[in-house]
Structure 1
């Protein structure tokens, strides 16, 4: 197992080695997704968008659950509402352009030839199906992670209220701890989702089994996975902030977007697409580092056999685990 710095160096080297292909063909596949994501964050705050409805629904849910009025929960509610609204807006571009781009990147990384050959439409389509299945399962995993975090917060505040503790300092401590817990759970879920997509692309098997195998692979290397995800996500957040400052702010001040502003916005979306490609390469290199000299396949099969033996309802009785990769 390689260390995280070596994986990052290998990922950057792979990107630079295939620089012309990644920054021309692949980046234009990712570009519609990047444009939709950046524009969604600009359109989300408008009163006519879906954000106010989502925000009010979550606020009513928090109030009904008994969460105390806190600035931390207000910010958390706002961020969750923005994420939901942006995800709905970008979903068509994610299910098409982004997954097709990821499939082309994974096929390129699986080539063992020194001369790069562009992937065919047939190979991309064959890899698109498992990626789509895994992405749909990832969405349910993210929803489950959010529900789990809010459920734990609800239990904590209910216990405190039932014991009769209502001091402001204790509520502030619980609110801060809840925000940290929510961030940790969501970060781990996102890391598992990225690994599951890379795994399903590399092995050609999608769905919930890819998520389960990703959990088995990174159960002892979670800190390394988080460290690898940190640089790219910081860069993506910085590009989003740059788009807000240079494009959205200029549009609100001038009241219109001129051709130079539009060109600058496309260039920022181009930069965002490059880092999305790098993020996919890092996930694939992280997966390859696990496969070299690792017994994770046997551990995964043993885990599934244990599930099969403990299952009394026939849910996975007919699975042939020996045929799994």
Structure 2
């Protein structure tokens, strides 16, 4: 945790040293993606997909949730457990939010990530000026390809985990362990396993996008390099991801409370509410910029530790070779 705090402090220092560039990028590029993310979470019903709301988002959410429930039922999952009701709802919300924000993610967010990584890579030599269009467009293709490849990896990881769950629940059913306690314990273990695997996959995919821009590679090459870099440092990566996601979730909750709840109560989107919405969206954009800078600092830290490790090994090999030569001469 101490190393994670050090990386966060270094990232904040980098942000304030190059504040003009990062703040401008947050305003120009990442703001539309942040607005799409916050609005997508606001348009999706929070509690139950079977609510009486007739909105388009509620209809789509209900459709996705019913299809997931039918899929789980065909796979013999214990749908009488309340845990799977929550799982179906959260997966439906995640899928719908992902589809709504995907165009903004592939354009504005990826372009902003390219420019932020370029500015962070060139810091402190590159200061107080926006990155050129050519530098952004040079980093955009590998970032885009890596992002699409990581989406495939995340989907594959989810399919693999649910396949394992299918086998486990089928085995439990064949063994006759269908009591409420057994199902509840297995469901709890499955939730812990799912959360752990998905968290690690997301951390690796996030680092892979940084690697693709830093080292001008894409696809599986960036993912393999990210796996090498993160080896032995997964705890630090998860700590950084937890802190970032906690702050982002708090900002999303603030948008729900200060903007959407007031709008739903009064049905009026006046000037003051619009100003507050813009302020929270800009705050979310700044936090997104900081999250990317933290990932860049973590990449540099992993890279430095890896180089030190290999240099130490090379030094030991050379020392061993010199001792062997001395022994042969003697």
Aligned to 1:138: 150
Alpha-carbon distance in 1 for matches of 2:28, 2:189: 42
Distance 1:37 1:168, change over 3 A: same
Within 5 A, what are the aligned runs for 1:286-305?
286-295=298-307
CA displacement 1:236-265 (0-9 Å, x = unmatched): 000111111111211211123222112211
Instruction: Give the one of 263, 267, 280 matched to 1:255.
Output: 267
The one of 166, 174, 183 equivalent to 1:154 is 166
CA-CA distance at 1:26 after TM superposition? 3.3
Shift of the 53–120 alpha-carbon distance from structure 1 to 2, 3 Å rule, reads: same
Tell me what 1:228 maps to.
240
**Aligned-pair CA distance for 1:84:** 0.7
CA contact (8 A) 2:18 2:127 kept: no
For residues 106-152 of structure 1, give each alpha carbon's deviation from its aligned partner in whole angstroms, at most 9, with x where no partner exists. Answer: 11112141643321111100100000000000100111121122112
* Contact 1:29–1:97 (8 Å) recurs in 2: yes
Deviation digits for residues 66-85 of structure 1 (CA, Å, limit 9, x no counterpart): 11121111111111111110
Equivalent in the alignment of 1:60: 70
Give the equivalent residue in structure 1 for 2:14. Answer: 14
Give the corresponding residue for 1:48. Answer: 56
* 1:242 equivalenced with 2:254 (yes/no): yes
In the alignment, the residues of structure 1 paired with residue 182 and residue 301 of structure 2 have an alpha-carbon distance, to the nearest angstrom, of 44
**Matching residue of 1:99:** 110
Gaps of 5+ in 2: 46-52, 311-330
SS state of the match for residue 117, structure 1?
A: coil
Q: Does 1:108 align with 2:112?
A: no
After superposing on structure 2, the runs of 4+ consecutive aligned residues of structure 1 that deviate more than 3 Å are: 114-117, 295-298
Please tell me whether Structure 1 or Structure 2 has the larger radius of gyration of its CA atoms: 2
Note the aligned Cα RMSD (angstroms).
1.7
Cα pair 2:61 2:93 within 8 Å, conserved: yes
**Alignment partner of 1:3: what SS?**
helix
Tell me how far 1:158 sits from its aligned partner.
0.6
Structure 1: any 5+ residue segments left out of the alignment?
299-325
Residue in structure 2 matching 1:87, options 98, 101, 104:
98
Counterpart Cα distance in 2 of 1:296 and 1:256: 59
Change in CA separation of 1:297 and 1:64 when aligned onto 2, cut-off 3 Å: farther
1:212 maps to which of 201, 224, 230: 224
Separation of aligned partners in 1, 2:126 and 2:224: 34
**Distance between the aligned counterparts of 1:293 and 1:258, measured in 2?**
53
Answer whether contact 1:134 1:200 (CA < 8 A) is retained. yes
Quick check: 220-229 or 106-115, which moved more? 106-115
**Greater mean alpha carbon deviation, residues 90-99 or residues 149-158:** 149-158
Q: Which residue of 2 aligns with 1:24?
A: 24
Deviation of 1:295 (Å): 4.7
Q: Give SS of 1:220's match.
A: coil
| C-alpha contact (below 8 Å) 2:37/2:97 kept by paired residues | yes
**Matching residue of 1:38:** 38
The structure-2 alpha-carbon separation of the partners of 1:279 and 1:115, relative to structure 1 and needing over 3 Å to count, comes to closer
Cα distance in 2 between the residues matched to 1:297 and 1:195:
20
- Pick the aligned partner of 2:203 from 191, 208, 215: 191
TM-score for both structures, normalised by structure 1: 0.87
